[in-house]
Amino acid sequence: MTSDSGSSLIGTIIADRYRIIKSVGAGGMGQVYLAEHIKMKRKSAIKVMRSALVGDPEAMQRFTREAENASKLSHPNVASIFDFGETPEGLVYLAMEFIEGESLHQTLTREMALHPMVAADVIGQSADALQAAHDLDILHRDLKPDNLMLSKRADGTFLVKLVDFGIARTMDSGVTRVTRTGFAVGTPEYMSPEQLAGDVLDARSDQYALALVAFVALTGQEAFSDASGKDSLILRLTSRPRRLAEVRADIDWPVPLQSVFDRALAPDAADRFARIADFADDLSNAISLMTPTQTAEMYSRALMGRSIGVARRTPSMDQPTVGRAVDRSRTPATASGTVVSVPVAKAIGMPDPSRRRVFPVLLLIGAFVYALYWFGAQQPAGAARSVSDAIGSISRTVAGPLMPYIDRMRNAATVVDTVPAPAVAPPATKKPRAPRVKRDSAAGTAGERASVASDSGAATKAPPDTAPSSHHPR
């Protein structure tokens, strides 16, 4: 049984668990098949090394390195590795996640170029995968459209999967070879100047390659004319690539977008972005300045919903991470150039800052309305009084239907005091006193005293059987 013939393995079972269904592709290292696990019924992509390379130590090391490096990464934009081994028949295989879709190279061959909003999303997801690898000190070293697989989500947006870590190496290895007998280490069209020169590489080399992929995705053409030619490869060691306007003069490219490419494709790695994620963020922000179309708005709304949904389903996601995710999916600029940004979603368990801002505003509005009502109520007439009456009428209209419920809750909340209050003697009532009449020392006769009492209203009519009382001088 040999892996050199695509049809020889179809229908067979590898490692007692993978049933080969059909051939889906081929590469320099071997053939790729669609297989199904005989027990779990899970589809997998099985890469089988060519029989001629099984005895080659360097090829075997490269095949093993792909399994090791990819298995270290657990990221939604990196194809998962399920299994790796060798069968008793001498077949060396690698079982990985099967991706329903096609490569970016196949998409560009059919479409020529991607819509800028779509390109920003694809490059952003690719940068996320590469950033995860760089955080583990892993360099991909062979980034190209063929190694970016695209599948469609339910919302119509792309899901990007980074594949083929066969020539990936750790950044502390200190060794970089450009070629070897039988195959090249890397693809010349997407190599950085330092990779072409055989220098020690770091994460900025992958950034250079991703920027070249982004250039092709936006324009449909290579950043360097005749990029695979010998003279062009030598020239790329010190020169800069073509500008966007030189390749596609029919598109109004924003100046910030060209600046992003000028920095990411700088010949000197020190002049590039510090992190590949920073390059993707600036690229997305610059593309958002382009005039939107209906297609861009539809794709952008799908991206916004996807980013917010991920944020809400991830309680541990911090706000800066959510901000970066949503920032890449924000709505493009309007025709006037104003950028319409999407609000950052609040992750579950995180306090909502908007609530803290709304309460003080409502409190100020309530205080202002009450002050206006109080001031108008003090006026006898006029506009202020009319406004005050209107506020009062609205308040009574709004509160009227609620008053029965408020009274019911108030009565239910009232605590009845069952302890009898101590008896308190009622205060003694005082007998009414007759009004005092100021005696005049000069008035000595009884007639004068009666006249004074009559004028003061203090004289009372006595009952018929009772003689009127008389005042006796002391």
Q: Which residues are catalytic?
A: 142
Helices (H) then strands (E): counts for the chain: 15, 13
Question: What is the token pair recorded at 192?
Answer: 């950085």
Question: What is the token pair recorded at 300?
Answer: 């952008």
Question: What is the token pair recorded at 469?
Answer: 């009382």
What residues does 93 pair with on adjacent strands? 48, 85
Question: What is the token pair recorded at 229?
Answer: 């030619």
DSSP helix/strand/coil, 90: coil
Decide if 111 contacts 64 (C-beta within 8 A): no
Decide if 358 contacts 307 (C-beta within 8 A): no
To the nearest 10 degrees (0 to 180), the angle between helices 104-111 and 203-219 is 30
- The Cα–Cα gap between 24 and 101 comes to 11
C-alpha angle 164/170/175, rounded to 5°? Answer: 105
| Sequence-distant (≥ 6) Cβ neighbours of residue 240 within 8 angstroms | 262, 265, 266, 267
Closest CA to 258 of 235, 237, 240: 240
Rg value, the chain, Cα = 44
C-alpha angle 185/186/188, rounded to 5°? Answer: 120
- The Cα–Cα gap between 251 and 253 comes to 6
Q: What is the DSSP string of 237-296?
A: TT-----HHHH-TTS---HHHHHHHHHHT-SSGGGS-SSHHHHHHHHHHHHTTSPP-HHH
The shares of helix, strand and coil residues in the chain, as percent rounded to the nearest 5, are: 45, 10, 45
